[in-house]
Amino acid sequence: MIKKILIANRGEIALRIVRACRELGIHTLAVYSEADEQSLHVQLADEAICIGPASGSESYLRADRILSAAEIGDIDAIHPGYGFLSENAEFAEQCESCNIEFIGPRSETIKKMGDKAMARETVAKAGVPIIPGSDGPLANEIVATKVAQKIGFPVIIKAVSGGGGRGMRIAHNAVSFAKEFLSARMEAEKAFGDGSLYVEKYLESPRHIEFQILADKHGNMVHLGERDCSVQRRHQKVIEEAPSPFLDKSLRTRMGKAALKAAQAANYVNAGTIEFLVDAKGNFYFIEMNTRIQVEHAVTEEATGIDLIKEQIQISSGKRLSFSQKDISLDKHAIECRICAENPSKGFIPSPGTIDLYYAPGGHGVRVDSHVYGGYMVSPHYDSMICKLISYGRTRKIALDRMYRALSEYIIRGIDTNIDFLKAVILDPAFRQGEATTSYIEEFLARAPKDLLDKPVKESRK
């Protein structure tokens, strides 16, 4: 059994890992940047080591500094969380060569599935449907334009490496394609150090559905049902829920089997997510695999009752899964809202600064995953998400009503947040009726009153 874990991350996910380790009786070593010295994960971990300045490129993305901290701390394993080095095959390989258990899949799996073009090829051979697209990375915009014309517009340009919506552009015709291709390449090079791009057919207003996978080192593998992540802004997820209000039993079964096929084709071990796009007719297509824990893993935890972080650690310790596919059921409905330090009325620009007053909601059916508190300084150097607010209940309506109540109780003063925007979405009839697709937020903002984001939300739940 692993006895001591270094947490190679920050914020709420680092705190989430600290808590899981404490329940398992495992000691923790937090690493942190100079900007995160007062973060809760640093204060609550058993030990903490500063690894550099505020910039992620000089701290959380420095594998050498993290491995030096691991040597100093005499740890058994590293949990990378999500983002930063969590899907970096070279870092995972370095851990393996240092006899440190990387709490995630093997380095060769990360490399195979992290390369989106290679991932498409891998799952296609296993019989999983994929969206029509280029066979691999495209050399330049001239070659890419010819491929896009053959596929047929609109198309979506994607970075081969990375995720989170970066290095991603939509082109509706050949005139705009070259410009979008160059913009995507520049963004991908800056975000991931890799400007390689490929092109896929763009589906208009699909659903974004992902399946959670768990696999141990003994060949046992299950999926834990789906999450609906269709509510997005600029390819960044805003609200997630489990189960999806769109899938019926038959489609859920077929997609679950396809997700397992994809994971088996990758020889997958630990926690991972298979992501699909689903059109209005129920046709589904593989888009990518995330070889790490997801931001939105909490909705699966609340819907199934399974602690995914603990399962990750136990799998890495060599234990077998304690359940099989027939034991998995989504007994509750869970919804997650990402609370961000941003100003929706000003184009959702980030709002760093000091939180003067902080009061988190509570009560039955509400979970708050956050690393902030009154007096906490929200840094401009990192992602603007400061909390994941999760509600759950026996039915979707109960979960929705609890989410609205929790959002209404949440008090954060000193910075701007998207709480009022989220309240408006939770009350919107189209969202409440389960009609949201990936274009929902754009459509919602287009039909909402112009002053919606500048005034308090009025309650109406007919």
pLDDT by residue for the chain (462 residues), tens only, comes to 899 999 999 999 999 999 999 999 999 999 999 999 999 999 999 999 999 999 999 999 999 999 999 999 999 999 999 999 999 999 999 999 999 999 999 999 999 998 887 998 999 999 999 988 888 889 899 999 999 999 999 999 998 876 667 788 999 999 899 999 999 999 988 888 888 999 988 898 899 999 999 999 999 999 999 999 999 998 899 999 999 999 999 999 999 999 999 999 999 999 999 999 999 999 999 999 999 999 999 999 999 999 999 999 999 999 999 999 999 999 999 999 999 999 999 999 999 999 999 999 999 999 999 999 999 999 999 999 999 999 999 999 999 999 999 999 999 999 999 999 999 999 999 999 999 999 999 999 999 877 676 655 555 555
Quick one: pLDDT at residue 191?
A: 80
Query: Which amino acid is residue 322, in one-letter code?
Result: S
- Report in angstroms the alpha-carbon separations of 17 from 9, 89, 307, 367, 371: 10, 21, 11, 16, 12
Query: Which amino acid is residue 169, in one-letter code?
Result: R
Q: Which two tokens stand for residue 286?
A: 């593989």
| Of residues 141, 135, 139, the one with CA closest to residue 181 | 141
Quick one: pLDDT at residue 456?
A: 56
Q: How many CB atoms lie within 10 A of CB 72?
A: 12
Q: Residue 406: phi, psi to the nearest 5?
A: -65, -40
Q: In angstroms, rounded to a whole number, what is the distance separating the alpha carbons of residues 114 and 19?
A: 28
**What's this model's pTM, rounded to 2 decimal places?**
0.89
Q: In angstroms, rounded to a whole number, what is the distance separating the alpha carbons of residues 46 and 56?
A: 23
Q: In angstroms, rounded to a whole number, what is the distance separating the alpha carbons of residues 145 and 174?
A: 7
What residues act catalytically? 292
Q: How many CB atoms lie within 10 A of CB 218?
A: 12
Quick one: pLDDT at residue 459?
A: 58
Per DSSP, the three-state class of 141 is helix
Q: Can you list the domains of the chain with their CATH numbers?
A: 4-103 (3.40.50.20), 132-201 (3.30.1490.20), 207-454 (3.30.470.20)
| Of residues 212, 211, 208, 259, the one with CA closest to residue 237 | 208
Quick one: pLDDT at residue 292?
A: 98
Q: Residue 188: phi, psi to the nearest 5?
A: -65, -40
Q: Which two tokens stand for residue 292?
A: 């790490």
Quick one: pLDDT at residue 44?
A: 98
Report DSSP state, residue 345: G
Q: In angstroms, rounded to a whole number, what is the distance separating the alpha carbons of residues 221 and 151?
A: 35
Query: Which amino acid is residue 304, in one-letter code?
Result: T
- Report in angstroms the alpha-carbon separations of 198 from 116, 149, 245, 274, 349: 8, 14, 31, 19, 29
C-beta contacts of 36-44 below 8 A and 24+ residues apart: 36/10, 36/379, 38/376, 38/377, 39/10, 39/11, 39/14, 39/15, 39/371, 39/376, 40/15, 40/371, 40/372, 40/373, 41/7, 41/10, 41/11, 41/14, 41/15, 41/17, 41/371, 44/15, 44/18, 44/19
Q: Which residues contact 20 (CB under 8 A, 6 or more apart)?
A: 307, 309, 310, 313
| Of residues 231, 229, 238, 243, the one with CA closest to residue 419 | 238
Q: Which two tokens stand for residue 293?
A: 């824990």
Q: How many CB atoms lie within 10 A of CB 267?
A: 14
Q: Which two tokens stand for residue 139?
A: 């050399």
- Report in angstroms the alpha-carbon separations of 148 from 143, 151, 338: 9, 5, 34
Give one word for 182, left, alpha or beta, with left for phi > 0 and alpha for psi -120 to 50: alpha
